Amino acid sequence: MPNELTTSPLSRIEILDADFTSTTHQTDDPKITGSQIIEASGKRPPAEYLVLQQLKNREMETTRPNETVDLREQGVERFFVIKSDRSFRFIVDGLNLEWALPEISVRHTKLLAGLQETDRLVLIGAAQNTVLEENGKIRLDASGVEEVRILKVVKVKVFYSEEPFFLEARNYTTEELIKEFGVPEGYILNTISEDCDFNDLAPGQILLIKEGMKFSSHPPRGQSS
């Protein structure tokens, strides 16, 4: 059969599943259909699976069962075969992507978009933006197309006991700041206002760090420093 996958080195395709487990296959046919890709993956029954093609520019699109993909075009040899009956569109830093499940992990999002592991992502919302946890997931089945961007890290200079520290301009908990500043164990961290007022930070309190903020610390009341 001319369309049967063989061990000929003419064309090679990579097939991945929803967990990004990858297998490589070779075909002597320069063109291949969505159905053939599912067959090569070994998934059964074929009608329950969806094929997503990742293009050279990393964007993704659905490949229908009877749709033909020309393997002679560079960068069209990577496919995902996932059990699903629909795909969900989303945008990552301007890149148009599709996924065959209603949610995708932040880690897999970075892999699809070719981002660095250290990149931090933010989900763009109508009311507010949400910084995504590294071990979190992105829901894709809400109305509209979800948009994710790389969080641009901006560092500002703040002072603790008159010593400068450069921190990301973001929300911190009291405990995070205590760790950043190396506050002595048991001491209470406080902010210093422009009017030189000292305000203790409560455990778990969230504070948005801005340029020029000043901090100090003191032992619990009743204890000598």
Where in the chain are all domains bearing CATH 3.10.20.90? Answer: 11-83, 155-218
How wide is the angle at C-alpha 176 spanned by C-alphas 170 and 182, nearest 5°? Answer: 120
- Write out the chain's pLDDT in tens, 225 residues: 444 544 445 788 999 999 999 999 988 888 999 999 999 999 999 999 999 999 999 999 999 999 999 988 776 689 999 999 999 999 999 999 999 999 999 999 999 999 998 888 999 988 778 889 889 999 999 888 999 999 887 889 999 999 999 998 888 999 999 999 999 999 999 999 999 999 999 999 999 899 999 999 999 876 554
Q: Which CATH architecture has domain 88-150?
A: Roll (3.10)
Cα first-last separation, the chain: 85
Contact 71, 13 (CB under 8 A): yes
- Provide the pLDDT for residue 152: 80
- Provide the pLDDT for residue 2: 45
Sign of CA dihedral 28, 29, 31, 33: negative
**pTM tops 0.75:** no
11-83 domain in CATH 3.10.20.90?
Answer: yes
**CA distances from residue 165 to 11, 180, 191, 207 in whole angstroms, order as listed:** 55, 9, 14, 16
Number of other residues whose CB lies within 10 A of the CB of residue 11: 19
Class of domain 155-218: alpha beta
- Provide the pLDDT for residue 73: 77
Distance CA 87, CA 80 (A): 12
H or E element that contains 177: helix 174-181
Contact 184, 220 (CB under 8 A): no
